[in-house]
Structure 1
């Protein structure tokens, strides 16, 4: 930003000085300049929006952002009750295992599964009222009962129940009619086809079961129109089996995304644990599956349904936290056995939708930012609008956002202008006396340009003209990897990034100290220049030259150049990175 002009005289000069003072100081015309009469040049920050996947198919899935999960099957008819007693152990959709119900007894449930209140039009309407963009329904859960018309077995809804129809076909058609994307859940555990009860659902897949799984996947991928998402679940397949099952999806539905629970790192997006929200933004595409009640996903007749406002507030915060970290949010309902949606769940979803309607563009259509979580809440961005979601109302009446490098036009809450000021790269907003929304207040910051930020721990040169970066000054990029099962899933480090600035243009070289995987090929990027270095030489080489632009935040990033999959760990330990000026 140019320096502030010198003071001028006369009426025009007075008016100009007042105007400039207002522009520099923030939202209060009488506020003093940031640092005396002369404004120092502001640092140009990095782009603040977290970009989507470079794969157009995955990026299209990321843009869906928020969807409806539906757990519905024979277990719904039981409603968490067996022989007149509530089954309190485990999720109710797994009642056959937790109540140790024999296959013959469980199959009898199908004879009374009428599903006469299953209404795809109403379900899709509810999804839209909630603000959702896609629907994913259970095609087959661990009980092995197919909720679609399959030629692989007669153990399905069309042949064993009075309902006799294919609900997936009806729902897929209605989704298309109402402009929603459609996806299917498919369990790789199948108690009817031969798997035993395993409380952890880590059953290996015997070769004898592969033809059934493959045939059912081909049916699901060819009979229901375009599929946006295939949500595999559980079991412990071999790497070859994971590749085979994911390959069937990609052959018949090239536009579909595959969940990571196909295992062995063969998915397109990583699924977090049930109702899990990561504490940091993750690199790559990911999703949180969430349930209205954490105790179950399938219908439970005796479930406590209370404090509707509190439930709406909790789910809004869950959705917001996931979206502010760049993930998709898949929120579940569990219809009754007759297909009807529980009124409490419908009301809660509409409550979430009402909050979204009150804050258009703040979550849906918005993107995650590089600010990360704040002491007072979360941050999203949509074009030139920055949204500050206040989950903890500051007691001192001021909200501070650190590291905002873009000029601000104004700040509002529910359309009402708020006072604000700049303190260096901090935006400080004077809040109203009380929260402006009963569920979760949102402030809108209108920016004068694209969002740019100055990340925490951005480092300038020391007195000796060099940059000495310790591990604490690096921002770690995380993902997840697995070795073939839910229990093997673990968080990994896939990126290390530091940010440096220089008061003038400089050519620099860098040297790293620490430990690296000797066989890995690493990509070292500083600004616009990249070096590829084998791990065996990474700590022995002086890399460069690189160019630092003046008054500009320049990222220094280390990643694997040829990662086997998106979650492969860097296997890198940094002790120090030193940048020094060079004239070469």
Structure 2
């Protein structure tokens, strides 16, 4: 699988969970799946979904100021409600809500106008379509999915209806998104309710790439995606290949008025730095209100993250994953030529910053954002065994309030010592 080069270079994307669930501020889809309210009550939110202040140009400008290079919109969550005028079902905000129009097209146009890549989220699951809950997987990987919105009772399967759903709705709506909006990225979700063979995932991938050969596909395709998608926490051991952490500003994905536990800008900077230091992208989520406005607390966090990125952009874009932990107490990134090492310091250094196992000679050290040059010395080591000493860097005079980044210019491509030392 060949990854499109723009994706690992992007570093930051914005996830937008927007749908009728914002009307009453309930969990998206899960609130009726789990029985917290009836499906009829949930669907009554269609009547209150207006998108009356939806200004996708404002969204795009905010995302640019945040430092993002792409954004992903929930075109259809597990509830089956489409944000575009789909010809495959009658369940869309274009036909069943006061919004009464396609909301996906303006989103894609605004992003492209501001130089952002277009990502469209689409759930494989559809807990509203009558033909969806008609077959069971051979193995229930997650027992709680044995739910009448998701699958029939044992012995009540109707395979012909499942095939009709796949052909007319699942494949049909994906083809609509591809042909109408030409997304750079398709972000799938909800594949856990069927086996790979039931979804025909291999065939789906082939069909998508035949229609749009450069489309990036996320990992929720049961082995047929392009990258991994851990959720809500930076992995201790990051995936080997391309990956992306999807993460919320608050606790919820969609807009919920009671969700006020917003992460601070320093918290988001930390998660972002740890993610890109491990070689991943951060897909940071916001949930607009039903009218299409992004709440000020979320906009403030996005602006704050963007300010830090601008101060330190040399260490963000066009960099690769840095050193494994243990060489430096914090994330690190490498410039594309592997001759500049960036060290992230979350706390103001006391006295000095230390780098272990660096075989290179350090030619120059400076602080991003201020340009201050720092002195350093090498302590210890065992040169006859090619075991390097510890590089101790004088603490900077001024530190960034979120995280200070030091740039170490090396005498060549980075070379690390990973042994146990001489006895």
TM-score tier after normalising by the smaller chain length: 0.7 to 0.9
State the partner residue of 2:233: 276
State the partner residue of 2:292: 339
Give yes or no for the alignment of 1:160 onto 2:96.
yes
Report matched runs for 1:123-522 at 5 Å. 123-194=59-130, 200-201=144-145, 203=150, 206-211=162-167, 212-240=169-197, 241=199, 242-263=201-222, 265-272=223-230, 274-293=231-250, 295-305=251-261, 311-372=264-325, 374=327, 376-382=329-335, 383=337, 384-395=339-350, 397-413=351-367, 414-423=370-379, 424=381, 425=388, 426-432=390-396, 436-450=399-413, 452-457=414-419
Secondary structure in 2 aligned to 1:223? helix
Counterpart Cα distance in 1 of 2:143 and 2:295: 28
Counterpart Cα distance in 2 of 1:138 and 1:106: 17
Secondary structure in 2 aligned to 1:400? strand
8 A contact 2:359–2:417 mirrored in 1 = no
State the partner residue of 2:33: 97
Match of 1:119 among 55, 58, 72: 55
Counterpart Cα distance in 1 of 2:238 and 2:333: 12
Distance 1:360 1:63, change over 3 A: closer
8 A contact 1:270–1:286 mirrored in 2 = yes
Counterpart Cα distance in 1 of 2:145 and 2:266: 32
Shift of 1:398: 2.0
8 A contact 2:69–2:116 mirrored in 1 = yes
TM-score normalised by the chain length of structure 2: 0.85
State the partner residue of 2:25: 79
Superposed CA offset, 1:253-298 (max 9, x none): 21111112122x11111111x21211134311111111101x2100
Give yes or no for the alignment of 1:70 onto 2:16.
yes
TM-score normalised by the chain length of structure 1: 0.62
Shift of 1:95: 2.5
Give the RMSD, CA atoms, in angstroms.
2.5
8 A contact 2:9–2:319 mirrored in 1 = no
State the partner residue of 1:547: none
Structure 2 stretches of 5 or more lacking a match? 134-141, 152-158, 382-387
Superposed CA offset, 1:291-312 (max 9, x none): 101x210000111256xxx611
Shift of 1:164: 1.3
Distance 1:361 1:334, change over 3 A: same
8 A contact 1:387–1:443 mirrored in 2 = yes
8 A contact 2:349–2:396 mirrored in 1 = no
Distance 1:190 1:74, change over 3 A: same
Secondary structure in 2 aligned to 1:347? helix
Q: Which has the larger radius of gyration?
A: 1
Distance 1:280 1:428, change over 3 A: farther
Distance 1:199 1:117, change over 3 A: farther
Shift of 1:93: 5.3
Shift of 1:440: 0.9
Counterpart Cα distance in 2 of 1:95 and 1:442: 43
